Amino acid sequence: MKQEATFDWQLLAEQWCEDHPHRLWRQHSDYVNCALLERWLPNRPIESVLKTDLFDEAFGGGLCGVLEERASKVYGIELSQTVISRAQAQYPRLRGVATDIRSLPFGADRFDVVVSNSTLDHFPEFSDLVASLRELVRVLRPGGSLLLTLDNPVNPAVALRNRLPFRWLNRIGLVPYYVGVTFGPQKLRAILKDVGLQPIQCAAVLHCPRVLVIPLASLIDRTSFAAPRRLYLKFLRSFEPLGRPPSRYITGHFVAVLAKKQCV
């Protein structure tokens, strides 16, 4: 049986409701992803947006605040009803739908924008990732935008993690949820073209050494002092200029792509 099929996302959500980890780290992650949205969202009124998971909104600020400022309707899909309920408690306007991304309950050409941040890199097979992309293209309107981030296999830390058994990494607490296959920037651009999308921009984001800074965040989370939190977040943000030089795909944890659906 596939590992992804046996991983219980609902159970993880219930556990995190009791002991929510990585609060401070998620503040930084939200900051980086929101900055990416601000750069890449269309500079015009948006009728409807689909976000492909709601974990960030359930256990942090997430991206829906930015999306609701820019779009009339924001939809979110998620496997876990617990996650949907927590996300909607924070964002009452959010329209949450429990579904599998490989078979969306929406008609064709439904959304102006699809935002998929580190959702599709949790499958064990490349065929599932590509099938999900095809489904996102189906529900995206011609000329609509896909904002996509995936784990970056060019990053040595990500490459090493993906070569080690998930069961071991999960048992020692380094990887709290299932991580799967992904594409590097060059292959990703080719796949996007194959499914009917035209890549417009490509970037790398989250350049700090996660294996070091996430445990540090957990320690700071246990304190009630504001100053260490501010210093920690300022320190992490100082790594993001590494997204500009040619070495960005070595240091960036995620590869990010803005693509448009081709008009027939």
Residue 192 predicted with pLDDT over 90: yes
Crossing angle between the packed helical segments 9-18 and 81-90, to the nearest 10 degrees = 50
Sheet bearing 46-51, strands edge to edge: 95-98, 71-78, 46-51, 111-117, 140-151, 254-261, 197-205
What does the pLDDT read at residue 223? 82
Residue 193 corresponds to which amino acid?
K
- Name the percent of the chain lying above pLDDT 90: 72
Number of domains making up the chain: 1
Whether residue 7 has pLDDT greater than 80 = no
Residue whose pair of structure tokens reads 């990732």 in the numeric block: 129
Q: How far is CA 29 from CA 43, 102, 124, 202, 241, in A?
A: 23, 26, 24, 18, 15
Kindly report, residue by residue over 73-100, the tens digit of the pLDDT. 999 999 999 999 999 999 999 999 999 9
Its domain, for residue 54, covers: 3-261
Contact present, 185 and 258 (Cβ < 8 Å): no
CATH code of residue 97? 3.40.50.150
pLDDT of 168 above 60: yes
Q: Which pTM does this prediction carry? A: 0.93
Burial class of 92 by CB neighbour count within 10 A (0 to 12, 13 to 18, 19+): exposed
Q: Are strands 46-51 and 71-78 parallel, antiparallel or unpaired?
A: parallel
- Residue pair 153/183 in contact (Cβ under 8 Å)? The answer is yes
In angstroms, what CA-CA distances link 54 with 64, 97, 153, 259, 262?
9, 10, 24, 21, 27
Q: What pLDDT is attached to residue 5? A: 47
Q: For residue 25, is pLDDT > 70?
A: yes
Give the whole-angstrom CA distance, residue 98 versus residue 82.
10
